[in-house]
Structures are given as C-alpha cells and as structure tokens.
C-alpha cells in the first residue's frame, strides 16, 4: 500500500456525510442517519466539508437539479449514494468507502471536474456552501449570532437567487436593492435570500425566499419543491418518533446538541419498538429542557406568534406563543403521537418581521412538517 492509499484509508474513518432527505422519505433518512452513526461517520454541516453525498428517497425534478449542482460543488475525494426504498444501506456505505479510497477513480473524477466549462464552474461556485456554512447552530453561534449578536450570513444559499435586473458590482457580485421601507434611509438595504432546500435541520423539500433589511425578514414566501407534500410524519406508527426528531432538530438549532442527541435516541427506541425505554428517555429529555434555565431563557420570547395571528393563517391555537412554548408542545406530542402538517403558505407570513436566525427557529418549532394548503395530511 502506497502512502496515498494509506492516507486515504485513514481519512475514510473520519468521513463526513451530507444527508439529504427527499419529501416523503423521512423513515429512510432516519435509517440512513442511524447506519452512518453506527459506522462512526459524522453528518456534515455543509457541502464544503462533506465527503459523501447521500440522497435518501427519490427527488423530483427541481430537487434533482439542486442536488446535481450541490454534487458538482463538493470537493474531492467524494462519493454519491442514491438510496431508495429496499436499498441495503450498509452495503451502500461500504461501496462509498471503497470509492473514497479508490485513487484511480478519484483522479478521474478530479480530471472531469477540471475539464468542466469555465462558465459552468462559475455557476456552481456559488453552490459551495448551499445555505449551510454560517447557519450551523450546533456551535457557540447557536442562534446564528456572532460574538457581537449579529447574524452570520456567510455561506447562505444564494446560488438559486434570481439576479435578473439587479445592479452588478465589479466581478459580477450582485448588489442589494434599495427600498422605500428602508429603516436607515440607506441604499442597498434590501437583500433577497433563499433558505433551503438543503439545510441542516430543515424540512424536506422546503424553500423559503425572504427579503432582508439587514437581519430583518421584511417579506417571505414559502413553497415546496416539485409541488410535493412534505409528509415527514408518514405512517401513523412513525408519529411519535417523528415528534422526537422534531424536538431534536429544534434543540440542535438552539445550540443544545447533547439534549438533541437524547431526543434522537428516544426516536430510535420508538422505531425499534422499545416503547417503555423510549418513554423513559423522552422523560429525561423533558427533564433536561425543564432544568436548563439558560435554554429556556434563550427561547423565551423568541419567535412569538400571537393567537389572533395563528388563527388568521389557519393554524391550530396550540402553536401560539414563543419557541419555548412550541418546544414544550413538541415534547407533549412526542409523548402522545399527535400532530399534523402545517400549510406551507403560512410559514412565509409567520416569519415576516423576525430576524433570519429566529425565522429558522420558528420553522423548526412548527414541527418540521409542511403541506400544500387544502391537501390531506394522511399517508
């Protein structure tokens, strides 16, 4: 074994996986996530840090195009897996490991990337972060804030923004447009930003187009790619486990990964049919949330939705309150398995007036499951 092969074999032990859930593939994503963890691999926070791209489920046309651009932006060595129902996930991960250590295949892949048309390369360059880096809330910037309290926008997904008609600075960098509603009277204060469809702890297939004044969302429109429903709850027997997964996503975004890990443990125990053990683990999660004054302080008063506003957009009244209230509600639903998708059109209205980091917390606190208006939430 040469030095390169030895280094590759060592590196594959620390493989990072960018795991993308397609609409309707919640159970498949969770199974893949568990297999990845059992192998000792980690979930990557961004395409730039990923070694393997795993697509769980069958993407529609729009999501497939996003994934292709995302794949082109990933640095090598790299491998891609498309996992569908009935796939042997462990065997697929074995195949990915072999590809990562196949120096000849990786050299050919690198040559292919180098031979790409320069204009295509420029289009793909903006996908390098694809809305991940800078929005990872699992570190000290848990709420998307830097040390000075300002939201960190580096790496947010601008790759699919429509820049037509926008004034361009040197080197083709788009300038933000002014607005009559500017708070400070300055030009260049309105910036369009797209969140999704690939973000950590983000509902499958969801895209949220927002207009920012500084960090403030002044306009927002939400939709589901390919006009599909994001029915992540799936079958009734998954509802309790799905609620635990939603709790974990909100806790991760709030910067509490240890408690989030316990919530995922409860999820997995429910899926394995160990309900008594899962209930005890879930009680431990609830105790952790209740006992942490800092966690409760960090979510208290954040993302407040007034009862009249909730009724106006057609949501159940239990979603009123702040993110802490909705976290407590998610824990309740994890205990009894209740819950239903939120009409996707409501999300844009609810996050208008929030800052960007809070908008992400609001989306997570609603339960992470969205559907087109008027569509049944049944399986």
CA dist 17 → 51, 148, 334, 344 (Å): 6, 31, 27, 28
pTM: 0.76
Q: What is the DSSP string of 267-310?
A: HHHHHTT-HHHHHHHHHHHHHHHHH-HHHHHHHTTSS-B-HHHH
pLDDT at 314: 84
Q: What is the DSSP string of 181-217?
A: T-SS--SS-EEEEEE-SS-TT--TTEEEEEEEETTEE
Residues 27, 84: contact at Cβ < 8 Å?
no
Q: Which of 231, 239, 233, 246 is nearest to 270 (CA)?
A: 239
- Cα separation, 258 vs 280, in Å, equals 16
Residue with tokens 């909705």: 326
Q: Which of 127, 122, 16, 110 is nearest to 70 (CA)?
A: 127
- Cα separation, 323 vs 254, in Å, equals 10
* Residues of the chain under the 70 pLDDT cut: 1-13, 116-189, 227-237, 337-339, 373-379
- Cα separation, 319 vs 314, in Å, equals 11
User: What is the rounded end-to-end Cα distance, in angstroms, of the chain?
Assistant: 51
pLDDT at 180: 54
Q: Which of 23, 50, 22 is nearest to 36 (CA)?
A: 50
Residue with tokens 């204060």: 189
Q: Which of 208, 204, 154 is nearest to 28 (CA)?
A: 204
pLDDT at 373: 58
What is the CB-side half-sphere exposure of residue 156 using CA atoms within 13 A?
A: 21
Residues 369, 204: contact at Cβ < 8 Å?
no
- Cα separation, 263 vs 257, in Å, equals 10
- Cα separation, 369 vs 243, in Å, equals 10
Dump pLDDT digits (tens) for 239-264.
899 999 999 999 999 999 999 999 99
Residue with tokens 């640095």: 75
CA dist 82 → 16, 92, 109 (Å): 16, 9, 18
Query: Phi/psi of residue 346, each to 5°?
Result: -70, -30
pLDDT at 3: 47
């Amino acid at each position: 074994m040469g030095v390169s092969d030895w280094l590759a074999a060592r590196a594959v032990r620390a493989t990072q996986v960018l795991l993308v859930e397609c609409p309707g593939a919640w159970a498949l994503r969770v199974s893949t996530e568990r297999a990845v963890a059992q192998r000792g691999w980690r979930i990557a926070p961004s395409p730039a840090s990923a070694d393997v791209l795993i697509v769980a489920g069958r993407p529609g046309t729009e999501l497939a195009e996003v994934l292709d651009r995302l794949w082109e932006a990933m640095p090598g060595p790299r491998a891609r897996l498309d996992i569908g129902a009935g796939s042997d996930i462990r065997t697929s991960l074995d195949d990915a490991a072999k590809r990562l250590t196949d120096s000849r295949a990786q050299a050919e892949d690198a040559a292919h990337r180098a031979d790409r048309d320069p204009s295509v390369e420029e289009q793909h360059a903006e996908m390098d972060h694809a809305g991940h880096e800078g929005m990872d809330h699992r570190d000290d910037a848990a709420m998307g804030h830097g040390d000075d309290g300002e939201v960190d926008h580096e790496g947010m997904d601008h790759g699919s923004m429509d820049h037509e008609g926008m004034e361009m600075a040197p080197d083709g960098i788009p300038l933000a447009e002014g607005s009559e509603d500017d708070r400070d009277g300055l030009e260049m204060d309105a910036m369009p930003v797209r969140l999704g469809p690939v973000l950590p702890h983000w509902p499958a297939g969801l895209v949220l187009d927002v207009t920012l004044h500084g960090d403030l969302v002044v306009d927002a429109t939400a939709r589901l790619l390919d006009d599909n429903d994001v029915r992540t709850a799936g079958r009734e027997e998954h509802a309790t486990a799905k609620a635990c997964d939603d709790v974990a996503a909100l806790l991760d975004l709030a910067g509490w990964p240890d408690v989030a890990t316990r919530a995922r443990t409860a999820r997995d125990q429910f899926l394995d049919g160990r309900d008594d053990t899962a209930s005890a683990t879930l009680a431990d999660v609830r105790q952790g949330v209740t006992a942490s004054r800092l966690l409760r302080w960090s979510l208290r008063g954040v993302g407040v939705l007034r009862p009249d506003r909730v009724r106006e957009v057609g949501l159940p009244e239990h979603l009123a309150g702040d993110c802490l209230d909705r976290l407590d509600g998610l824990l309740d639903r994890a205990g009894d398995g209740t819950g239903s998708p939120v009409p996707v059109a409501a999300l844009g209205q609810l996050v208008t007036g929030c800052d960007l980091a809070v908008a992400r917390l609001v989306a997570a606190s609603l339960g992470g499951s969205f559907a087109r208006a008027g569509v049944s939430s049944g399986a």
